[in-house]
Structure 1
Amino acid sequence: MKIGKVIDNVWSTKKDESLIGHKFLIVQLMDKSKEFNGQVIVAADLIGAGIGEKVLVTQGSPAKYLPNMKNTPIDAVIVGIIDEEVER
């Protein structure tokens, strides 16, 4: 999993039928220096994240393990909203 920050919404009126009903958000991933300056991706949101929230994102084949994602062309899914980070 990766940590990211939701920076915007994605609106798509025409898409594959298997994507209908899914919400998509633009997420900026955390870079190695723990700043939100990393890669920008589009992720399906299954949990109701909002702009500005820190989120947990799973990418690639693990995204297909979620029950309602089978046979859906999605490679990134928001699976959690981060309430607090603990420094160690």
Structure 2
Amino acid sequence: MQLAKVVGNVVSTQKDPNLVGCKLLIIKKIDEYGEFEKYSSSSTAIAVDSVGAGIGETVIVTSGSNARYVYGDKMAPLDMTIVGIVDEIQIV
């Protein structure tokens, strides 16, 4: 899992039938201090929202085959899913 900030949304009228009804958000990966990852080609991505996140929120994302387990049929072609909204980050 990784931390990310929601920076936008995506509207797609034509998509895989398993994605119909899914909210798609643009996320940008961040480090534990809330800073955007620099010099990373994969720092911006599209993720399916499963928790009702909004633009500007810090979220937890899961990727790879684990991202599919959020939806019951596991047939959706998902590579990244938002699984949590972060309230606070504490570093000791």
- Please indicate, yes or no, whether the TM-score normalized by the shorter chain is above 0.5: yes
Matched, 1:16 2:16: yes
Distance 2:8 2:86 in 1: 17
Cα pair 2:32 2:89 within 8 Å, conserved: no
Describe the SS at the equivalent of 2:46.
Answer: strand
Distance 2:20 2:68 in 1: 16
Matched, 1:77 2:81: yes
Structure 1 residues 9-57: Cα deviation after superposition (integer angstroms, max 9, x where no partner): 1000111111100000000001587511351000000110000000000
Describe the SS at the equivalent of 2:45.
Answer: strand
Distance change >3 Å, CA 85–CA 69, structure 1 → 2? farther
Of all paired residues, the percent bearing the same amino acid is 47
Count of residue correspondences: 88
Cα pair 2:30 2:37 within 8 Å, conserved: yes
Q: TM-score, normalised by structure 1?
A: 0.90
In structure 1, runs of 5+ residues without a counterpart are none
- Alpha carbon RMSD of aligned pairs, Å? 1.8
What is the letter of the counterpart of residue 53 of structure 1? E
Matched, 1:58 2:65: no
Distance change >3 Å, CA 10–CA 67, structure 1 → 2? closer
Cα pair 2:4 2:60 within 8 Å, conserved: yes
Distance 1:28 1:4 in 2: 5
Cα pair 1:56 1:80 within 8 Å, conserved: yes
Distance 1:84 1:32 in 2: 11
What is the letter of the counterpart of residue 60 of structure 1? G
